[in-house]
A and B are shown apart, each in its own frame.
Chain A
Amino acid sequence: MKLYIIDKKTKNKTHLRLIAQSRQELLRSLGSKAFTIDGHVYSLYDVKAEPSSDSAAVGGLLGGVVGAIGGVPGVIFGGLLGAAIGQSQAQKDQRDVEQFNGSLV
């Protein structure tokens, strides 16, 4: 899960070098309900979460490579197994994103 704000100047997404499961946790780690980036003031509600990298693709590739020791069926089975493992990680990430975006201070 990645945390970001929409930059007030450029209107682009700016990712934050922070880890928090909720806005309460963010408040505890920052020690303030507001913070500044490049001179612009943001509140904790400006911070949003989004899922990180595509785990299903990573899992599928890793599974295929590991499965190569079992030949052609191994690649197919390993790829499917890896994609399933990656997908479950992605679902966990999505739940974390929803929990963060719905959290109140």
Chain B
Amino acid sequence: MRYSLNMHWQRVTVVILLFALTITLALFREEAKLAIKSSFESGVIPIVIWIYVFVSVISKNIFFTNQGSSQFEIYTETIFSVASYGLAGTTSIALLQGVYLQNFYDKQFFFNFGSLDLASIGLVSSYLLIYCGVVTTRMLADVVFRVNAVDTEPRDTN
């Protein structure tokens, strides 16, 4: 009996990567905690987020603009998109940093907040960060995977 290999390879790859990440975290728990702490304290993550958002939004708006939009609309939409996704991403990573360091290293970032409040902040911040990541990655993917897209020449039908 022959089985079809018509699998969703992107999702299979993601599951394998997450599985590998889970095993790594389980085996090297303390090292992983230190690596996360040092990456938070280095201050590199917000810079990476700003660069990623900037490149994604600008390249999407340069290569795939709606031809019906005016230059002013394109300009303002680009600025607002960069600002909103950049601020949402960096704010959520700052909140996650606070929750992480307070939870695992007993550093006080949020005073008079209970464990339920911290869990809520972590959940909402994660949601916001993942949402920004998904949207900006889709923008970048649109540009990268469609570099071979063609231009159209209108034809006079009158």
A54 at the binding interface (Cβ < 8 Å): yes
Q: Which residues of A contact B15 (CB under 8 A)?
A: 60
Tell whether, in the assembled complex, residue B67 and residue A68 are in contact, meaning their CB atoms are under 8 Å apart. no
Tell whether, in the assembled complex, residue A18 and residue B67 are in contact, meaning their CB atoms are under 8 Å apart. yes
Q: Which of A74-105 contact B (CB under 8 A)?
A: 75-76, 78-79, 81-82, 85-86, 89
Tell whether, in the assembled complex, residue B96 and residue A81 are in contact, meaning their CB atoms are under 8 Å apart. no
B157 at the binding interface (Cβ < 8 Å): yes
Chain B residues within CB distance 8 Å of chain A: 8, 10-11, 13-15, 17-18, 21-22, 25-26, 29, 32, 36, 63-68, 96, 100, 122, 126-127, 129-131, 133-135, 137-138, 141-142, 145-146, 148-157
- Please name 22 pairs of A and B residues whose Cβ atoms are closer than 8 Å in the assembled complex, sorted by A: A2-B146, A15-B149, A15-B150, A16-B152, A19-B64, A19-B67, A30-B67, A32-B154, A34-B155, A35-B152, A37-B150, A37-B153, A52-B142, A53-B141, A57-B13, A58-B134, A68-B32, A68-B36, A75-B25, A76-B18, A81-B130, A85-B130
6 tightest CB-CB pairs across the interface, nearest first?
A29-B67, A32-B154, A53-B141, A17-B149, A15-B149, A62-B133
